[in-house]
Amino acid sequence: MTNNGMREKIRNKEGFTLVELIVVMVILGMLAALVFPKLLPKVGKGRQSAAKTQIELLGQALDQFRLDTGRYPTTAEGLNALLVDPGLPGWDGPYLKKGVPNDPWSRPYHYESPGTHGDYDIISFGSDGSPGGEGEAKDLNSWE
């Protein structure tokens, strides 16, 4: 085997060149720039959907609590009354399989009873954690 043949074999066993790696990184960066903005709004909508579902499940647990005890938990008793007997006759809980969940933004749900909009109000203040807002920061509640 000639010296040129040896160089040819060695050249074929070498890895990627720096230019090839940079081209691949640029292509991956361009793909990420195209895909990421389209996925970001779906994450927000998913959290809003999860909050609506959790509020409905909390409402069902509150309704079961009322059927057993004759009333909804007071604001002072809070949603924790669904897990721990507040000393009411007829309480047959716990009414939730797990603990009282936080909203998808890791904040506790705001609960009032009697509520402004019905027997009780459950509110998640959205991504910003304060009343009002648009998009992902929009408030989600039990009466809408």
Q: Is 33 inside a domain boundary?
A: no
pLDDT digits (tens, 9 = 90+) for 102-138: 999 999 999 999 988 889 999 999 888 888 888 778 8
Within the chain, strands assigned E span: 110-112, 121-124, 140-141
Q: Is 83 inside a domain boundary?
A: yes
pLDDT digits (tens, 9 = 90+) for 52-97: 999 999 999 999 999 999 999 999 999 999 999 999 999 998 999 8
Q: Tell me, what amino acid is at 137?
A: A
Q: Is 77 inside a domain boundary?
A: yes
Q: Is 87 inside a domain boundary?
A: yes
Give the torsion through C-alpha atoms of 43, 139, 119, 55, to 10 deg.
10
Range of the domain at 61: 43-141
At 115, which CATH number?
Answer: 3.30.700.10
The closest of 130, 133, 113 to 121, measured between CA atoms, is 113
CA distance 108 to 129: 10
Q: Is 3 inside a domain boundary?
A: no
Q: Is 28 inside a domain boundary?
A: no
Number of domains in the chain: 1
Q: Is 31 inside a domain boundary?
A: no
